[in-house]
Chains A and B, each alone.
Chain A
Amino acid sequence: MFALTSRMHLWLEASLRFVRHQPLGAAGLVIVLIMVFAALLADVIAPYDPLRNDYTAMFQPPGATHWFGTDVFGRDVLSRILYGSRTALWVGFSSSFFSATLGAILGVTSAYFGGKVDLTLQRFMDLLLSFPLIVLALVVVAILGTGLTNVILAIAIPMIPRCALVIRSSALSLSRTPFVEAARALGFSHWRIIFRHMLPNVMAPFLIMLTAFLGQAILLEASLSFLGLGVAEPAAAWGLMLRGAAVEFAERAPWMAIFPGLAISLSVFAFNLFGDSLRDALDPKLRVS
């Protein structure tokens, strides 16, 4: 019991320190938390069914009944944005978690073994890095097809080498520390050393990469969906809401294009703000006393 409370106390202290030293980051975190709640409680707070067409209420401007107006099928824009945050968060979290985890494992493995393994892995990563993010994502979509899970993979795969590169550089010095050498001398298996001894020690760069990827992943999902190669209609996704009718009828119903874009920008902004401050707080090299 005592251990638990002291641990909570430490957490609380760390959080308070973060808020005090990184006010912008804390503001970002607040927006992120609001977004998470909006996604979790979408069923409760959304005023309308996001998928229900209402042909008597097409192109309604923002007003008392529809705060953000309605779209070409008479669907409520606010409800679609609220449900869209589920798609954005799910894709964002799972793809960045997947890519950062796999990237960390690859980076640590590469640094631990060194030599030929390192060289081969690095060459392969360099190869993947010479494609722009979206180009590689489009190739993966072409192979796997569209849909939620495939979009997550298409976003995660191009990010893996970017993460592996960063984690490798911080794991390189780690593989020569006494405790890793001691573990080696004790005859532990390679995988035990990699997973139990090295991976927990690259937690800081891992978290930094994870938060840095979150915003990018949300943006990439919006881009893919906007191209029609991501999440498919009639699902509620922000990029999808900007596609087709939103551009076609932009002059007649500008709210269709304005609000989903604001939702994307605000959430990516919040994630970047938070991620940036987290990096400042976690990276001792950048810390100003």
Chain B
Amino acid sequence: MRQYILKRLLLMIPTLFGVAVLVFLMLRVAPGDIVELKYAGTGAFAPKEAIERERAQLGLDKPLWRQFASWIWGIGRFDFGNSMWTGRPITQEIAIRLELSLELAVMATLVAIFLSIPLGALAALKQDTWVDYLVRIFSIAGLAIPSFWLGIIIILGFLIFFKWLPPLTFTSFWVDPKANLMQLIWPALAVGYRYSAVATRMTRSAVLEVLREDYIRTARAKGLWEKVILVRHALKNALLPVITVIGLEFAFLIGGLVVTEQVFNLNGIGMLFVESITRRDYTMTQALVLLVSFVFIFVNFVVDLIYAWLDPRIRYN
């Protein structure tokens, strides 16, 4: 097992290297660079020498392979460099936003779990009845309603009916938990509802499959309560694929909430990503893409480990 873990961790390196090469090249292909955009923003006339000087300062005048090599060399020492736009260290810029993004992702995942598992199990138990149809419509609607629009509607509802707006500035959970929750619960609900949709359907089909197993019939024959059969025998065995879905969605929530953050005015990873890519802040965008794909690959790995832990039949060698 230890060998397997080590192997998987080592295998992440070539994948992340591939991601690094890809994003590095894609960004250089994009027209315009940060210096041009900076001067275009001020509207002032920029002498050619000034532009050249600034490019040299950022290291943009060096050949591509050298830029790439020095970037990778830095990452090897956990030094991601400075943001080309603000000049501050990238780790610092990301750290102040990661708390918000991480918390929102965790909350949205919790919302999705609390919605999807009971609803999915219920739909499976009442297969082909109106309950099943209602759950199906509810979950397909969750995939159809854009979470940013749901966010607008939630804010609008509070504004019209209660003359109240969620707080606009982020307070850390550790400083003021109430203010923090009052701000983040709404985007978490909007996003969590959307993400519960896939998990609900996964739970439904997994429970349906398990309910046909012999051991369920045995449990019924023993005269066990339906409740015990459902929770202890069926649900426990049906949860494996559900965990995969929820895990992968959690990975996408870090950095994938680009639009929702915009609606709720949250300064998270997604917002930072949009800002840095439109500013052609190469170093920042590269670091963010690496972070997002690292989280994705890492969560994939953790899901596999949870599998082995939950299901003794699965052993990795």
Q: Which residues of A pack against B, CB within 8 Å?
A: 24, 123, 126-128, 130-135, 138-139, 142-143, 145, 215, 219, 222-223, 226-227, 229, 242, 246-247, 250-251, 254, 257-258, 261, 264-266, 268-269, 272-273, 276
Contact = CB atoms under 8 A, between A and B. Distances in A.
Interface string B267-278: 000000110011
Given A135-B289, A227-B262, A261 B144 contact: no
Contact of A250 (B152, B258, B259, B297): B152
Contacts of A250: 152, 155-156, 159
A74 to B, nearest CB: 21
Contacts of A264: 144-146, 149
B23 A139 contact: yes
B140 A269 contact: yes
A139 B259 CA distance: 15
A272 B143 CA distance: 8
A134 B140 contact: no
B195 to A, nearest CB: 12
A276 B140 contact: yes
B148 interface: yes
B187 to A, nearest CB: 14
Looking at B258, B277, B278, B289, the one whose CB has the most chain A CB atoms below 10 A away is B258
B258 A127 contact: no
Interface string B132-165: 0100110011011110110011011001100000
B296 A130 contact: yes
A135 B146 contact: no
Interface in B261-296: 262-263, 273-274, 277-278, 280, 289, 292-293, 296
Contacts of B252: 132
8 contacts: A24-B136, A134-B258, A135-B292, A139-B289, A226-B259, A227-B262, A242-B152, A261-B152
A101 B274 CA distance: 30
B142 to A, nearest CB: 10
A223 B147 CA distance: 10
A223 B292 contact: no
Nearest to A260: B149
B265 to A, nearest CB: 10
A227 B258 contact: yes
A126 B297 CA distance: 10
Contacts of B22: 127-128
Nearest to A144: B30
Looking at A145, A247, A276, the one whose CB has the most chain B CB atoms below 10 A away is A247
Given A127-B15, A138-B258, A139-B277, A265 B297 contact: no
Interface range for B: 35 or more
Main DSSP-derived SS at the B contact region: helix
Contacts of B144: 215, 219, 264-266, 268-269, 272
Contacts of A24: 133, 136-137
B29 A143 contact: yes
B15 A130 contact: yes
A258 B22 CA distance: 40
Interface of B: 15, 18-19, 22-23, 26-27, 29-31, 133, 136-137, 140-141, 143-146, 148-149, 152-153, 155-156, 159-160, 252, 255-256, 258-259, 262-263, 273-274, 277-278, 280, 289, 292-293, 296-297
A254 B153 CA distance: 9
Contacts of B297: 130
Given A250-B152, A265-B145, A135 B256 contact: yes
A247 to B, nearest CB: 6
A274 B262 CA distance: 31
Given A132-B256, A143-B29, A257-B156, A272 B140 contact: yes
Contacts of A222: 146
A254 B156 contact: yes
B141 A269 contact: yes
A288 B159 CA distance: 48
B258 A219 contact: no
A134 B292 contact: no
A258 B146 CA distance: 12
B278 A258 contact: no
Contacts of B29: 143
Looking at B133, B144, B280, the one whose CB has the most chain A CB atoms below 10 A away is B144
B140 A273 contact: yes
Given A142-B30, A227-B258, 18 more contacts: A127-B19, A133-B256, A134-B256, A135-B256, A139-B27, A139-B289, A142-B27, A222-B146, A223-B146, A226-B259, A227-B274, A250-B159, A251-B156, A261-B153, A268-B143, A268-B144, A272-B144, A273-B140
Contacts of A269: 140-141, 144-145
A5 to B, nearest CB: 37
B160 A223 contact: no
A134 B259 contact: yes
B53 to A, nearest CB: 25
Contacts of A143: 26, 29-31
